[in-house]
């Protein structure tokens, strides 16, 4: 009978980042994935490390800040294991403040805004400039999967997690392809967790016209435009995203894509001529308060959850892996996890 120290359900960015962190600490890990690794929200994301987005719940900030501080070592570990560098594509973001937010001294004057991005038509929006990086989640996924495959982590694809039952010091995990025994179990199934719901996001990629050499993320409460630099110059931009309750439906509707592009064009008129390269939809795992669930599942021994990262899974992966690994190995987590306690919903 096979026995792992820790069995993780879900091979998205959260599950695989946690697997790597636990492996680094010497644990034997099995990861169960119902389809293909990193095939859902992890690669649908825009990749903004938006720790200071004013639309994030304030209680997300300590976890976000911890993640930002861990990102360099996280990427170094991926590079050391995979041989693949994950480049940062942008290093600043123009953020429009939500209407309800009070005026701050950081709000840019029209002149300052023109100097940063002359093509922007801000309307009556108030913009601030954030030190914020972005990366391409597809490049991150390639490096993360190669890193995992360079270790002894057992990754079982096409193996759907069905249930986990605590018995004594162990957990018995039922899958569509048999039983796994482990000392501890972690639910990292994202939008497929019974404790979260899917929130659909449709988005698109466009080729940037030569008249718009965009190197800065532009974000309002309704829309974001994220340039991707394939070489020294940005050549494409990601535009997103809808926020919809549509169950597990990932249909892309041309009318929604056209509306997103029109919204982006109202900010950057040069996008009117931008060629559509791709469009897709992803399913964000959401909770009622938009905060993740991190910790032990109440009244289920050796059973944990790390899910519900909603719009910030890419940002929060390193910190989630770090604090969950601390929790699973009996250390005190680096930050208080009480705002993220699963007992608030379970
Ligand atoms: N993280 C971007 C989005 O949720 O659309």
- What is the structure's pLDDT at 102? 85
Taking the CA of residue 310 as reference, the ligand 1 atom at the shortest distance is 4
Structure tokens that stand for 174 in this block = 């039922």
Q: Cα(218) to centroid of ligand 1, in Å?
A: 13
Cα four-point dihedral sign 267, 268, 273, 277: negative
Residue from 134, 284, 290 to probe ligand 1 pocket by mutation (most atoms less than 8 Å from CB): 284
Query: What's the CA-to-centroid distance between 312 and ligand 1, angstroms?
Result: 7
- How far apart are alpha carbons 330 and 320 in whole angstroms? 15
Q: Domains in the chain and their CATH numbers?
A: 1-87+136-196+287-346 (3.50.50.60), 90-132+197-284 (3.30.9.10)
Residue 345's pLDDT is: 83
pLDDT tens, residue order, the chain (346 aa): 467 899 999 999 999 999 999 999 999 999 999 999 999 999 999 999 999 999 999 999 999 999 999 999 999 999 999 999 999 999 999 999 999 988 888 999 999 999 999 999 999 999 999 999 999 999 999 999 999 999 999 999 999 999 999 988 899 999 999 999 999 999 999 999 999 999 999 999 999 999 999 999 999 999 999 999 866 677 899 999 999 999 999 999 999 999 999 999 999 999 998 999 999 999 999 999 999 999 999 989 999 999 999 999 999 999 999 999 999 999 999 999 999 999 998 6
As beta bridge partners, residue 170 has 167
- Strand bridging mode 276-286 / 217-219: unpaired
Q: Give, in degrees to the nearest 5, the angle at Cα 206 between 113 and 53.
A: 45
90 CA distance to ligand 1 centroid (A)? 16
Query: Which of ligand 1's atoms lies nearest the C-alpha of 201?
Result: 5
Residues with CB under 6 Å of ligand 1 are 45-46, 201, 240-241, 284, 311
Distance of CA 85 to the CA centre of its chain: 19
Half-sphere exposure of 46 (CA within 13 A, CB side): 28
Ligand 1 geometric centre to CA of 25 (Å): 31
pLDDT computed for residue 2 by the predictor: 62
Q: Name the residue with the closest Cα to ligand 1, atom 2.
A: 311
Closest ligand 1 atom number to CA of residue 284: 4
> Atom of ligand 1 at shortest distance to CA of 243?
5
Spacing, Cα 203 to ligand 1 middle (Å):
9
Buried b (16+ CB within 10 A) or exposed e, 9-29: bbbbbbbbbbbbbbbeeebbb
Ligand 1 centroid from CA 136, angstroms: 13
Q: Ligand 1, from 311, 315, 316, 317: best to mutate by most atoms within 8 Å of Cβ?
A: 311
Contact between 31 and 11 (Cβ < 8 Å): yes
Nearest CA to ligand 1 atom 1: 311
Write a three-state SS string for the chain.
CCEEEEEEECCCHHHHHHHHHHHHCCCCEEEECCCCCCCCHHHHCCCECCCCCCCCCHHHHHHHHHHHHHHHHHHHHHHHHHCCCCCEEEEEEEEECCCCCCCCCCCCCHHHHHHHCCCCCCCCCCEEEEEEEEECHHHHHHHHHHHHHCCCCEEECCCCEEEEEEECCEEEEEECCEEEEEEEEEECCHHHCCCCEEEEEEEEEEECCCCCCCCCEEECCCCEEEEEECCCCEEEEEEECCCECCCCCCCCCHHHHHHHHHHHHHHCHHHHHCCEEEEEEEEEEECCCCCCEEEECCCCCCEEEEECCCCCHHHHHHHHHHHHHHHHCCCCCCCCCHHHCHHHCC
Q: Assess contact for 77 and 71: CB atoms under 8 A.
A: no
């Amino acid at each position: 009978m096979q026995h792992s120290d820790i069995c993780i359900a879900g091979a998205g960015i959260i599950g695989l980042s946690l697997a790597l962190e636990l492996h680094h600490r010497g644990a034997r890990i099995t990861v169960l994935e119902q389809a293909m690794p990193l095939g859902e929200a992890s690669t649908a994301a825009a990749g903004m490390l938006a720790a200071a987005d004013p639309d994030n719940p304030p209680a997300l900030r300590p976890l976000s800040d911890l993640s930002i501080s861990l990102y360099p070592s996280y990427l170094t570990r991926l590079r050391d294991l995979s041989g693949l560098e994950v480049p940062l594509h942008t290093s600043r973001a123009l953020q429009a403040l939500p209407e309800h937010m009070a005026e701050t001294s950081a709000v840019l004057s029209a002149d300052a805004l023109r100097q940063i991005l002359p093509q922007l038509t801000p309307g009556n929006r108030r913009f601030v400039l954030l030190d914020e990086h972005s990366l391409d989640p597809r490049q991150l996924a390639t490096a993360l999967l190669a890193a995992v495959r360079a270790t002894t982590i057992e990754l079982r694809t096409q193996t759907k997690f069905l249930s986990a039952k605590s018995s004594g010091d162990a957990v018995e995990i039922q899958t569509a392809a048999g039983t796994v025994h482990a000392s501890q179990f972690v639910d990292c199934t994202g939008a497929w967790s019974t404790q979260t719901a899917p929130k659909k996001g449709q988005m698109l990629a466009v080729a940037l016209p030569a008249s718009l050499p965009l190197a800065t993320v532009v974000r309002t409460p309704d829309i974001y435009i994220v340039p991707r630099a394939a070489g020294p110059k940005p050549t494409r931009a990601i535009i997103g995203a809808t926020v919809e309750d549509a169950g597990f439906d990932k249909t892309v509707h041309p009318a929604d894509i056209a509306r997103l592009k029109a919204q982006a064009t109202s900010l950057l008129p040069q996008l009117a001529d931008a060629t559509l390269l791709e469009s897709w939809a992803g399913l964000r795992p959401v909770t009622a308060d938009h905060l993740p669930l991190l910790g032990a599942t109440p009244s289920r021994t050796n059973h944990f959850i790390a899910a519900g990262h909603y719009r910030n899974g890419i940002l929060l992966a390193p910190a989630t892996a770090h604090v969950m690994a601390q929790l699973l190995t009996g250390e005190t987590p680096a930050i208080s996890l009480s705002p993220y306690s699963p007992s608030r919903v379970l």
